[in-house]
Amino acid sequence: MEIIRLAGLIPVLVLTACHGTDQPNTSVKNDVPTEWEFNFFTPKALPAVVTFAVVQGTDGTIYRFNTLDSTKALNGVIGEWNDSARALNGHWNHVDSAPKHILFCWDSVIDKKVYETHLTLPKSVVEKMQNPYGEHYPHNTVQMGLAPEGKVAVWLSGVARGELSYRVTPSVMKTVSGDKLDICKGITRFSNGYEYEKDTEDFIKGKKYPYGSW
């Protein structure tokens, strides 16, 4: 992970190395998270791999990830999203400032193409991550589901195991592919082409694409 403290939007800054003014340190309430996480997952047997991510925190810091936690397939997600779905936290995907803007590149193995997704979390969601407002378990993790057709869904989840996730609607959500790729052009783990594993072949046999309602 590479951390750059900057001001502005990710699409403009992601390829730069200029530095802005550091933000002042502020005291943190005991019940407010000091670290936030983000995870990616897919429905059962519909694989995808996130290859690069950029996160801008609320304090202006830009975090660049060339190494990410694996993109898990959740066996309990079949045909549609559900609020109980949540990927387990890994080693790499964490930031020190509540995430506001997220850009990520991903190989949709099931679609056999590269996607580039830009999303911005609304102010109310960011505030929920920063200030629990008396909640016993603060929401400190952004969960992103990746489905066929380049569909992306977003949840918040908290620190408590077994807690239901909270579905949110980004204020900005844009996914492109093909000749519309910008930052993600040429980024792929499958430069020699995509092949389905046997579990995917068995799962989609007799089913109609996109294998559910996403």
Read off the pLDDT of residues 67-79 as tens digits, 9 standing for 90 and up.
Answer: 999 999 999 999 9
pLDDT of residue 77: 96
Q: Which of 111, 119, 98, 186 is nearest to 150 (CA)?
A: 111
pTM of the model: 0.85
Report if residue 109 sits inside a domain: yes
Question: Which two structure tokens, joined as six digits, stand for 211?
Answer: 């294998």
Locate tokens 């590479």: which residue?
Answer: 2
Kindly report, residue by residue over 85-140, the tens digit of the pLDDT: 778 778 899 999 999 999 999 999 999 999 999 999 999 999 888 876 555 567 88
Alpha-carbon gap, residue 16 to 19, rounded angstroms:
9
Report if residue 48 sits inside a domain: yes
pLDDT of residue 151: 98
Report if residue 13 sits inside a domain: yes
Q: Which residue has the higher pLDDT, 17 or 124?
A: 124
User: What's the pLDDT band for 9 if we cut at 50, 70, 90?
Assistant: very low
pLDDT of residue 177: 98
User: What's the pLDDT band for 13 if we cut at 50, 70, 90?
Assistant: very low
Question: Which two structure tokens, joined as six digits, stand for 130?
Answer: 């920063």
Mean pLDDT estimate for the chain: 85
Whole-Å CA distances, 203 to 23, 150, 208, 211, 214: 50, 19, 11, 9, 17
Give the type of residue at 211: Y
Report if residue 212 sits inside a domain: no
User: What's the pLDDT band for 8 if we cut at 50, 70, 90?
Assistant: very low
Overall size of the chain counted in residues: 214
Alpha-carbon gap, residue 18 to 177, rounded angstroms:
28
64, burial (CB in 10 Å: exposed 0-12, middle 13-18, buried 19+):
middle
Report if residue 191 sits inside a domain: yes
Q: Which of 118, 119, 117, 115 is nearest to 177 (CA)?
A: 115
Kindly report, residue by residue over 131-174, the tens digit of the pLDDT: 765 555 678 899 999 999 999 999 998 765 556 788 999 999 99
pLDDT of residue 157: 86
Report if residue 209 sits inside a domain: no
Q: Are the C-beta atoms of residues 172 and 68 closer than 8 Å to each other?
A: no
| Tally of domains in the chain | 1
Q: Is residue 83 over pLDDT 60?
A: yes
pLDDT of residue 163: 63
Report if residue 213 sits inside a domain: no
Alpha-carbon gap, residue 97 to 34, rounded angstroms:
7
Give the type of residue at 153: A
Report if residue 135 sits inside a domain: yes
Give the type of residue at 36: W
The domain in which residue 163 lies consists of 2-204
Alpha-carbon gap, residue 69 to 88, rounded angstroms:
10
Alpha-carbon gap, residue 188 to 114, rounded angstroms:
7
Reported as type and span, the H/E element at residue 126 is helix 123-130
To the nearest whole percent, how much of the chain has pLDDT over 70?
80
